[in-house]
Structure 1
Amino acid sequence: MTTGELLIALFQAYKDKNDDAFMKAAITLIDEEKAKNHYVLANNLKKILSSPSTSSSRWGGGFTNNIHRTFDLPRDKDNGGYLVEVKYPHRTFDDVVLSDNVQKQLENIILEYKKKSILHAYGFVPKTKILFCGPPGCGKTITAEILANVLDLPIIYTRFDALISSYLGETASNIRKVFDYADRNNCILFFDEFDAIGKSRDALDETGELKRVINSFLQILDSFNNDSLVIAATNHEKLIDSALWRRFDEIISFDKPDEQQIEFLILAKLRAFKVENLDIKNFAKKLEGFSYADVERVCVESIKYCLMNGDVPLDNSIFDLKVKEEIKRAALIKEIGG
């Protein structure tokens, strides 16, 4: 269909209050813009369709179709469940505190992606296969969302509860479906808790099926040459198969924050709230060894306490109370985890 015909179909669907016809025309229009290499326009149109409506529509529900329905997400053959979830994050670098080294690695990835046409012209390709590793709560998932926002791409979260099948051969088939979807749509394909499928084939407790899954993943990753970014994140990098390590263009290690980074994080999280003579340096020392997520939880719980007790300013006594609670929580988790 020509662009003019698609616009007529869109307007006709709106007039007829026909949700399905509107979506069909809209998706076709987006696909045509993508075929013309108008990726920014295509992604912006996708973002509008997938974002929740802020007002009721003229026919009491509007084009609130779920993104799952809109873009034919891959499904598990056995139970029909979706293998991925699509989101358009709005995270920025203000939402996380990163080391200088990690920041530089990310800036290089962003620059290469934005300059990919220049690299292609000289026979080079940008870094598109990236491994995030490090302890939990240190910003791996948030950073993937930041990259998606900065590059104006949707982020495709793989759902391991659906991806891993009990049927022989189906897990590898599901992985291929996910990569095929990423091949058709410019995106960031994000595998969180990657060790769930990337565990070393030499591990004594691994089954033959999981070893076949890893072999399939290696083959698929090797042949995947799309402009989409593949990001895998793990808290247990030592469990990852050595062959998988070599397939990634960039490996970024996230560490727990030092005292100075904890100070920056506390300041960032409390910048919009009333604070009264808070001894941030002292609390940063007490929280050394904790993750970014732990420090953020202390800040959030402190703010909630103030709001629920008459919107009082946040002072040392309140923050100290929440720091002590977080220390007890960490001790309990350690005791339970052995």
Structure 2
Amino acid sequence: MITGDLRGDDDMAGLGEHITAMVRSHASGDDASFYSIALQVAAREARQGHHVLADGIKKAVDYSRQAPSVTSNVTVLPQPRGDLGDLVEVTHPGVHLRELITSEVISGQIKQVIAEQRQRKNLLDHGFSPAYRLLLEGPPGTGKTMTASVLATELSLPMFTVRLDSLLSKFMGETASKLRIVFDAVAQQRGVYLFDEFDALGADRSGNDVGEARRILSSFLVFLEESSPESIVIAATNHRSILDKALFRRFDAVMTYSLPDTRQASTVIRVRLGSLLSGTSLAKLGDLTEGLSHADLTKAAESAAKAALMRGEPQVSRQDVVFALETRRMASLG
């Protein structure tokens, strides 16, 4: 007796077309089309005699239609068009707070912002705005951009990244008007707006460098002051010391990032390597991790993992980690 699901090439091709169509409708957020195709698949399976599978698909569709808030987690990303499309990059991160290795102070500040945003309507109804204008400053690779991703993920919001250095160079002479377009979007499309490399705009220009740069900074401060609490506006900089002091009082919170200490460095490596590090000691590596950023440590961990896997070994050795850290220090610190 032959058992199993034997399908011909034509049948498999037809099923493949249905699955492809389902994926496309899912990606576009077209629930009606998605359910319609699913029911077509159920009908095909019923004709093939697979009644249990067909019935299961139908029940799943009925349940999903009745409880969309529970089962529909599809977020249709707004795609910027026209001028806005030239100014921002939109993503939908999947980075949770537990994945961000940072100090207790920073972690507490992020949790406070998330809590206020989740109670946004309640606060606004009583005349208070949740924290939504954030300045993140610290060395490169210490988690500033990742923080923006965490906020977007935890609040289920799209993230719009504004590259200020390219904005300044590409639209010199009309930068202020382009900033207005971005801040209009802040009010109209709820999201996390990250102004990366903010020092390109916010540098202290108290000397001879006035004119256009000063007008751009002044425009940004006005836009920021008047910005809508509908969204979160984040400015990230690697150089706090060169920022114009007028900036700090315009933000609801300033988060200061630093290079990881020995404990945090060990945690970053462990989190990235996971089970590949089982049984391997990371004790007394402080001299090798000192001065390395979170990004440096992650890259070192990845190098150690690849070295072990390419040898065909299921675990990373301490020597793999030591060599990777030494190599990273030479590249990063010189």
| Normalised-by-shorter TM-score class | 0.7 to 0.9
Q: After the TM superposition, which residues 250-269 of structure 1 pair with which residues of structure 2 at under 5 Å, given as runs? A: 250-269=253-272
Match 2:236 to one of 226, 233, 237: 233
Unmatched runs of 5 consecutive residues or more in structure 2: 1-23, 32-67
What's the CA shift string for 1:225-276, capped at 9, x where partnerless? 231000000000111111111100000001111111112212211213254x
TM-score, structure 1 normalization: 0.74
The yes-or-no answer on 1:109 pairing with 2:118 is no
- 8 Å contact kept, 1:201–1:214: no
- Report deviation, 1:286: 2.3
Q: After the TM superposition, which residues 1-338 of structure 1 pair with which residues of structure 2 at under 5 Å, given as runs? A: 48-50=75-77, 68=79, 71-72=80-81, 74-75=83-84, 82-160=86-164, 162-165=166-169, 169-204=173-208, 206-275=209-278, 277-332=279-334
Structure 2 residue matching 1:279: 3-state secondary structure: coil
- Report deviation, 1:103: 0.8
Q: Report the identity percentage.
A: 32
Cα 1:249–1:313 change in 2 (3 A) is: same
C-alpha distance in 2 between matches for 1:264 and 1:319 = 13
TM-score, structure 2 normalization: 0.74
Structure 1 residue matching 2:102: 3-state secondary structure: coil
- Report deviation, 1:165: 4.7
Cα 1:92–1:203 change in 2 (3 A) is: farther
- 8 Å contact kept, 2:90–2:159: yes
The list of structure 1 runs, each at least 4 consecutive aligned residues, that deviate by more than 6 angstroms after superposition, is none
The AA in structure 2 aligned to 1:139 is G
- Report deviation, 1:167: 5.9
- Report deviation, 1:312: 4.6
The AA in structure 2 aligned to 1:116 is R
C-alpha distance in 2 between matches for 1:197 and 1:185 = 23
- Count of equivalent residues: 271
- 8 Å contact kept, 1:73–1:181: no
| Equivalent in the alignment of 2:37 | none
Structure 1 residue matching 2:233: 3-state secondary structure: strand
- Report deviation, 1:72: 2.4
| Equivalent in the alignment of 2:51 | none
Structure 1 residue matching 2:235: 3-state secondary structure: strand
Cα 1:86–1:329 change in 2 (3 A) is: same
| Equivalent in the alignment of 1:60 | none
Q: CA RMSD in A?
A: 2.6
Structure 1 residue matching 2:90: 3-state secondary structure: strand
When structure 1 is superposed on structure 2, of 110-119 and 154-163 the one drifting more is: 154-163
Unmatched runs of 5 consecutive residues or more in structure 1: 1-18, 27-39, 51-66, 76-80, 333-338
Q: Which has the higher helix share?
A: 2
Structure number, greater radius of gyration: 2
- 8 Å contact kept, 1:73–1:83: no
